[in-house]
Amino acid sequence: MASSFLNCRVSCIPFIYLGLPVNANPRRTSTWEPLLESLRKRLGVWGNKYVSLGGRIVLLNFILNAIPIFYLSYMKILVQVWKSIRQIQRDFLWGGTKRGKTISWIKWDVVCLPKSRGGLGVRDVRVINISLLAKWRWRLLTNDNVVWKEVIRSKYGDLAVGKVVLGDECKPWFASLWWKDICSLGMNLSHNWFA
């Protein structure tokens, strides 16, 4: 009755809102599959007939790395998903979209180095993910009165806002996965954060 009154459809959880799955578990690869499929579809449209190596680097940096930004700004990337995205990027860089095995002429770590240090300047997706999630921590430290901070404060307590280090006292058992990821950012920004 409510859906007919509001002229909207009835759906179930999880659902997509503004491109992100709502109430989906970011620890499952199935949550990330639409993103991976979107990357693969985009490559299928481009083809490889007339795209040079320089053109593929530009497409990697400005198109392929831009597609997952919305996901990466809210969810911690899984290692399997990061490896899949890296494989998609690597295959496109060295062979375009043609099928079959391609030769990687340079290690991916070198490809991701800045051009000033001898790399190709391709941005690493997991570094982008850390920086986008760190922006939430930075916003918690600023002194503005926005609604989402009030929600965080009412759910996790006054200690959750305005602190540089968010310890276990800010991470109750009922905390969301997003909040746990935000809290764990400051503790270990090393490689094991992605394990």
Q: Where are the domains of the chain?
A: 29-124, 129-194
Angle at CA of residue 138, ends 137 and 140, nearest 5° = 65
User: Residue 119 corresponds to which amino acid?
Assistant: G
Q: Is the pLDDT at 96 greater than 70, yes or no?
A: no
Dist. CA 173–CA 165, nearest whole Å: 18
Q: Is the pLDDT at 160 greater than 70, yes or no?
A: yes
Q: Is the pLDDT at 81 greater than 70, yes or no?
A: yes
What's the Cα-to-Cα distance from 88 to each of 12, 119, 126, 130, rounded to whole Å? 31, 19, 14, 20
pLDDT in tens, 18-48: 777 777 888 888 889 888 988 888 877 766 5
What is the value of pTM for the model shown? 0.79
- Residue 140: partners with Cβ closer than 8 Å, 6 or more residues away: 149, 152, 160, 161, 162, 163, 182
